[in-house]
Amino acid sequence: MKKIIIALIAASSLGLTSCATTTKDSVSGVKRSQFMLLPSGTVNNMSAQAYSQTISEAQKKSSLNVDKAEVERVRSISNRLIAQVGVFRPDATKWKWEVNVERNDQLNAYCMPGGKIMVYSGMMEKLKATDDELGAVIGHEIAHALREHGRERMSQAYVQQFGLQALAALISNGAASGAIMQGANMGSQLFFALPNGREQEREADKIGLELSARAGFDPDAAVTLWQKMGAMNKGAPPEFLSTHPSSENRMADLKALAPKVRPLYEAAKARK
């Protein structure tokens, strides 16, 4: 944390933007100021390359979009959620969204910076998630992308690893050799290697619940989803839940927010 504070002071002297909130205030009430030094475009490019590599590897293993019905289901649910992202940030409506399903028994899903979504088939085949529950999990992952949590933790890691001078060179020159290029390569790996912090997970829970309600998915499904996922692993939690706040705190937060977003859900259902 001390390194981050020093970086914030140094960033001011270098003229770099270091703090911002990435989403508009809404019913969920998420408006924390975030540590953002790495340029958004750079992070999105890193993520697009990493996602493309993931797609290529899945294709080689014949594990990409194997079940047509599953793919159509996931894309239909995702598109309903994507249609609501402008509430939180209008620019996200112009992202190059992609939605795919990988044959994998893990109970996991993710949305990389810039709107690159992947859902593992285990969510449907192993967990037997309902449409409302899939809406909750995909909405949670989209919320991470809207809040640019990946960019936030990449910024922290980059500064700690290479320092402000390397970051300034990256911003001014677009790309360079040596440590800067190494940092760019590291960035895409960090998305998968570094877990979101607990506060980031709380934000994704809140925004994700509001997003799914606006898309017409029952907000109560978020609670049943986490209950089902927790019950699947009595020992270590599933990968998706490994960095979340405790189950008790998460359930309490979701139950407290549900009545606030329920009118959004009811309005969405009435429009159908």
65: helix, strand or coil: coil
What are the angstrom distances between the C-alpha of 173 and each of 15, 91, 157, 169? 15, 25, 20, 6
Tell me what percent of the chain is helix, strand and coil, each rounded to the nearest 5. 65, 5, 30
Write the DSSP assignment of 82-112 as a string of letters: HTTGGGT-GGGGGS--EEEEE---SS-EEEE
Q: What count of other Cβ atoms lies within 10 Å of the Cβ of residue 47?
A: 23
The edge-to-edge listing of strands for the beta sheet with 116-120 is: 98-102, 116-120, 109-112
Q: In whole angstroms, what is the distance from residue 192 CA to residue 46 CA?
A: 12
Buried b / exposed e across 137-172, counting CB within 10 Å, b at 16+?
A: bbbbbbbbbbbbbbbbbbbbbbbeebebebbbbbbe
Whether residue 210 lies in the annotated active site: no
Q: What count of other Cβ atoms lies within 10 Å of the Cβ of residue 245?
A: 16
- DSSP strand E in 135-213: where? none
Query: What pairing do the DSSP bridges indicate for beta strands 116-120 and 109-112?
Result: antiparallel
Return the DSSP state at 235: S
Facing residues of 119 across strands? Answer: 101, 109
Q: Catalytic residue, from 141, 152, 203, 210: name it.
A: 141
Which residues are the active-site residues? Answer: 141
